[in-house]
């Protein structure tokens, strides 16, 4: 696959207005060693806890069998055999869309009774060739799965949703039969035309906000919209901690200076080293935006300068607990998180010299180890946010 691609994956959701739990489940998984991505969106019948449990079971089965490279019929049969079928309503208890992007750049989509997946390319809708896979097993004879595969190009977007989106507004005079697939597609098309580099998270959010508006802010069903965006990577480097050997200061500062992307420095000693090597002045701020952390500082060529270990430890805690309802403040750690979430490739360059200020026995032991904090942030960024992260220690 073209290694200049970054694959941004995001899903935004809204619960049925009477429920605290969403009956749709979105699952994304990156198999780093194979360069594969597996993405599943499942819609459990109805809403609430029961729907959520059915969707969890469906999405987990779908992801696991896809990871094992099982056939389309095997995946579909297993899911349908596991889940009950409503004989009265003649409805499956869960629907699903599965998207796999392999290490060679091929995208494969399986779709079962979810609204049609749409691919936006170059100012229009791209229509790959869809195949209808008819199951011939004893329990599911004649059941149909839609399948397609294609090779994404840079700036492509794959957009898929649950029926709470396309059926939003149902019964209102403006949408007597619901918003509909055509209106959904046109809305996404117009959003991309208006903002050609709109992120996956922003586009998915716009769709959900519109669907919520259609239902006059009382959703009659769970709503989910997932967007996969193939684009140029947005890069960020975080520089923290003085190198173990002073002879490495020049190389350390040079890597930061040559980096093509946004830059953050965490640590007073670290910023002093960069300031000296770059021959640029640091401007301190006295505005306290987080009572737990010292104020930020500024220097030409750097987005942000903060305190070191304490700030990074808080960054890690924010990222671990982050979800769709998280509201970020204006503190130093919050600002770092905003920059991280807006970036795709994050590089850490970290010095390993022990800071004597952190030898206080009242502080946690691992606060002494900058490497530990960096590793923890890296793990959550890779596993939870599917970011590309690299580390270099001095």
**pLDDT tens readout for residues 312-345:** 999 999 999 998 789 999 999 999 999 999 899 9
Give the three-state DSSP class for 199.
coil
> How many domains does the chain divide into?
2
Residues 285 and 221 in one domain: no
Torsion (CA) 204, 383, 241, 307 in degrees, nearest 10: 50
Which structure tokens are listed for 128? Answer: 């790959």
Please tell me the predicted confidence (pLDDT) of residue 4. 62
pLDDT of 359 above 90 = no
Please tell me the predicted confidence (pLDDT) of residue 202. 93
Q: pLDDT tens digits for 253-293?
A: 999 999 999 999 999 999 999 999 999 999 998 899 999 99
Q: Which residues pair with 99 in a beta bridge?
A: 39, 109
* CA proximity to 242, closest of 356, 339, 335: 356
Q: Which residues pair with 19 in a beta bridge?
A: none
| Residue predicted with more confidence, 247 or 213 | 213
In the numeric block, the tokens 């350390």 are attached to 252
Asked whether 188 and 203 are in contact (CB, 8 A), the reply is: yes
Using CA of residue 200, residue 205, residue 206, residue 210, what is the dihedral sign? positive
Q: Choose the final residue of a domain: 216, 231, 246.
A: 231
Residues 127 and 265 in one domain: no
β-strand pairing of 36-44 with 24-31: antiparallel
| Residue predicted with more confidence, 93 or 192 | 192
Model confidence at 247, in pLDDT bands (50, 70, 90)? confident
| Distance (Å, whole) CA 331 – CA 337 | 10
Q: pLDDT tens digits for 172-187?
A: 999 999 999 999 999 9
Residues 148 and 28 in one domain: yes
The pLDDT of 184-210, averaged and rounded, is: 95
Please tell me the predicted confidence (pLDDT) of residue 191. 97
Model confidence at 360, in pLDDT bands (50, 70, 90)? low
Model confidence at 82, in pLDDT bands (50, 70, 90)? confident
Residues 290 and 246 in one domain: yes
The pLDDT of 191-202, averaged and rounded, is: 93
Please tell me the predicted confidence (pLDDT) of residue 297. 95
Q: Residue 237 contacts by C-beta under 8 Å, 6 or more apart in sequence? A: 255, 256, 259, 261, 262, 263, 264, 346, 347, 348, 349
| Distance (Å, whole) CA 374 – CA 313 | 9
pLDDT above 90 coverage of the chain, percent: 72
Q: Choose the final residue of a domain: 180, 207, 231.
A: 231
Q: Which residues pair with 6 in a beta bridge?
A: 231
Residue 182: φ, ψ to 5°? -65, -45
Residues 223 and 266 in one domain: no
Residues 120 and 269 in one domain: no
The pLDDT of 194-205, averaged and rounded, is: 94
25 within domain boundaries: yes
The pLDDT of 162-170, averaged and rounded, is: 97
Residues 178 and 38 in one domain: yes
Please tell me the predicted confidence (pLDDT) of residue 169. 96
Q: Choose the final residue of a domain: 231, 246, 275.
A: 231
pLDDT of 38 above 60 = yes
Query: What is the CA angle 127-11-85, rounded to 5?
Result: 80
Please tell me the predicted confidence (pLDDT) of residue 2. 46
pLDDT of 90 above 60 = no
Average pLDDT, the chain: 90
Q: pTM for this one?
A: 0.81
pLDDT of 131 above 80 = yes
Model confidence at 87, in pLDDT bands (50, 70, 90)? low
Torsion (CA) 121, 122, 124, 128 in degrees, nearest 10: -40
Please tell me the predicted confidence (pLDDT) of residue 369. 72
Residues 172 and 277 in one domain: no
| Distance (Å, whole) CA 163 – CA 51 | 14
Asked whether 155 and 199 are in contact (CB, 8 A), the reply is: no
Please tell me the predicted confidence (pLDDT) of residue 356. 56
| Distance (Å, whole) CA 318 – CA 300 | 27
299 within domain boundaries: yes
Please spell the DSSP secondary structure of 291-308, one letter per residue: TTSPPPEEETTEEEEE-S
pLDDT of 89 above 80 = no
Please tell me the predicted confidence (pLDDT) of residue 32. 85
107 within domain boundaries: yes
Residues 368 and 274 in one domain: yes
| Distance (Å, whole) CA 274 – CA 291 | 26
| Distance (Å, whole) CA 26 – CA 41 | 5
Model confidence at 136, in pLDDT bands (50, 70, 90)? confident
Domain that holds residue 244: 235-393
Q: Which residues pair with 39 in a beta bridge?
A: 28, 99
1 within domain boundaries: no
368 within domain boundaries: yes
| Distance (Å, whole) CA 77 – CA 62 | 11
Asked whether 20 and 43 are in contact (CB, 8 A), the reply is: no
Please tell me the predicted confidence (pLDDT) of residue 143. 80
pLDDT of 365 above 50 = no
């Amino acid at each position: 696959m073209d290694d200049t691609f970054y694959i941004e994956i995001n899903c935004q959701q809204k619960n049925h207005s009477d429920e605290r739990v969403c009956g749709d489940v979105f699952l994304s998984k990156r198999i780093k060693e194979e360069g594969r991505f597996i993405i599943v969106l499942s819609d459990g019948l109805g809403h609430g806890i029961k729907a959520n449990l059915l969707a969890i079971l469906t999405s987990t089965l779908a992801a696991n069998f896809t990871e094992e490279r099982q056939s389309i019929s095997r995946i579909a049969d297993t899911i349908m055999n596991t889940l009950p079928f409503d004989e009265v309503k003649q409805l499956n208890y869960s629907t699903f869309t599965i998207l796999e992007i392999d290490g060679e750049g091929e995208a494969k989509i399986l779709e079962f009774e979810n609204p049609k997946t749409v691919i936006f390319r170059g100012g229009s809708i791209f229509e790959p060739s869809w195949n209808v896979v008819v199951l011939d097993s004893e329990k599911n004879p004649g059941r149909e799965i839609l399948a397609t595969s294609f090779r994404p190009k840079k700036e492509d977007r794959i957009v898929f949703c649950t029926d709470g989106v396309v059926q939003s507004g149902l019964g209102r005079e403006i949408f007597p039969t619901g918003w509909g697939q055509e209106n959904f597609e046109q809305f996404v098309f117009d959003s991309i035309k208006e903002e050609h580099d709109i992120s996956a998270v922003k586009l998915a959010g716009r769709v959900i906000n519109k669907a919520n508006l259609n239902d006059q802010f009382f959703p009659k069903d769970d709503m989910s919209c997932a967007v996969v965006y193939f684009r140029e990577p947005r890069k960020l480097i975080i520089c923290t901690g003085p190198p173990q050997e002073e002879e490495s200061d020049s190389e350390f500062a040079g890597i930061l200076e040559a980096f093509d992307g946004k830059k953050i420095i965490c640590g007073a000693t670290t910023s002093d080293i960069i300031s000296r090597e770059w021959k640029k002045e640091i401007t301190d701020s006295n505005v306290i935006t987080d009572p737990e952390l010292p104020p930020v500082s500024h220097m030409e060529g750097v987005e942000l300068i903060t305190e070191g270990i304490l700030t990074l430890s808080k960054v890690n805690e924010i990222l671990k607990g982050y979800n769709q309802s998280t509201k970020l403040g204006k503190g130093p750690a919050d600002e770092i998180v905003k920059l991280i979430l807006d970036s795709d490739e994050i590089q850490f360059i970290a010095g390993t010299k022990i800071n004597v200020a952190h030898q206080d026995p009242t502080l946690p032991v691992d606060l002494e180890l900058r490497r530990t904090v960096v590793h923890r942030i890296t793990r959550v960024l890779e596993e939870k946010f599917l970011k590309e992260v690299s580390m270099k220690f001095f």
